[in-house]
């Protein structure tokens, strides 16, 4: 049952993922969570986020932001990066992920999702059949409901890492 929430891959940061390798593998579309994945909660796009989006566009990726936030939040973040976005996405429901793929003209096989939470981001991607990358949160000072989710994520991540380590030693 815990495997339902296991990410396909992990990275310290959305900025450290080997995007060129993903492109070589045939991935053509990337869906990103915003808060604590690309920037701190509620903050505008940083220079680092802007540079990453330009890099991804130059590689040839289509990009879509997928957020459970209201439109004003997502629109503000997207102001300088100018990619597709979906607000009030209803993660972990499949609908937002499917709409993102539709906007980008991609399929489950050519799309990767990047986010910082197991119970919304990763689980939603897995339910949709999309490869998921879990990244560490940018800011550890979070709202109480997210702090509670992080507490619940800990045992799942423990068993995920234990299984991953076991598989790597084989």
C-alpha 132, offset from chain centre: 7
Round to the nearest angstrom and report the end-to-end CA distance of the chain. Answer: 23
CB 128 within 8 A of CB 17: no
CB 56 within 8 A of CB 63: yes
Q: In angstroms, rounded to a whole number, what is the distance separating the alpha carbons of residues 71 and 8? A: 29
CB 59 within 8 A of CB 20: yes
What's the token pair of residue 145?
């409901």
What pTM value is reported for the model? Answer: 0.89
pLDDT tens, position by position, 65-123: 999 999 999 999 999 999 999 999 999 999 999 999 999 999 999 999 999 999 899 99
DSSP bridge pairs for 41: none
* DSSP structural state of residue 114: E
Domain boundaries, the chain: 7-139
CATH assignment of 7-139, among 3.40.50.300, 1.20.210.10, 3.40.50.2300, 3.40.50.1000: 3.40.50.1000
């Amino acid at each position: 049952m815990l495997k339902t929430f296991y990410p396909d891959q992990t990275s310290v940061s959305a900025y450290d993922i080997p995007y060129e390798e993903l492109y070589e593998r045939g991935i053509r579309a990337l869906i990103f969570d915003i808060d604590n994945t690309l920037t701190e909660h509620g903050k505008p796009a940083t220079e680092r986020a802007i540079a990453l989006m330009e890099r991804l566009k130059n590689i040839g990726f289509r990009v879509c932001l997928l957020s459970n936030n209201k439109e004003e939040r997502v629109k503000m973040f997207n102001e300088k990066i100018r990619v597709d976005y979906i607000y009030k996405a209803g993660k972990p429901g499949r609908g937002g992920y499917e709409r993102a793929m539709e906007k980008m003209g991609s399929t489950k096989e050519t799309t990767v999702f990047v986010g910082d939470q197991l119970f919304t981001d990763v689980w939603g991607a897995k339910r949709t059949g999309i490869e998921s990358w879990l990244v560490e949160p940018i800011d550890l000072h979070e709202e109480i409901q997210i702090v509670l989710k992080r507490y619940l994520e800990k045992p799942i991540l423990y068993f995920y890492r234990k299984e991953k380590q076991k598989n790597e030693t084989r």
